[in-house]
Amino acid sequence: MRPRPCRPTGRILTATPRTEGPFQDQFAPVGGRPEFRYLGTGSYPFDLSGLSEEQRRSGNAVLSFQDSGGRWYVETIDLAQLR
C-alpha cells in the first residue's frame, strides 16, 4: 500500500512505513493439499506530537491510501477517538 498524507486540522503529515515479515505459514485448503504462503503486515504510523492538545481532542483528520491493486481509500478520523 502507498499512503497519502494525513491532513489533520489543516496540516499535512506523512506516514512512516513499517513492515513486519515476511512470515511463512502452512495452510490446508478444504479438499486440497497443504501449501505454504508468505504473510506479512504493513503499517503506516503518523506522528501527531506536533498537534496541540486542543487539536488532538477536537480535530478531525482525513487519511487516504492506495492498496496494491491501485484502489484509493479515504477515511475521516476523529482524533479524539485515538489512544
Q: Is residue 5 scored above 60 in pLDDT?
A: no
How many independent structural domains does the chain possess? 1
Chain mean pLDDT for the chain? 75
- pLDDT tens-place string over residues 14-31: 777 777 777 777 777 777
Residues in CB range of 60: below 8 A, 6 or more apart: 8, 9, 76, 77, 78, 79
- For the question of whether the overall pTM of this predicted structure is more than 0.85, the answer is no
Question: Which residue, among 65, 59, 66, 64, has the nearest Cα to 82 in the 3D structure?
Answer: 59
Query: Could you list the residue range(s) of the whole structural domain that residue 31 is in?
Result: 2-81
Which residues lie across from 78 on neighbouring strands?
Answer: 60
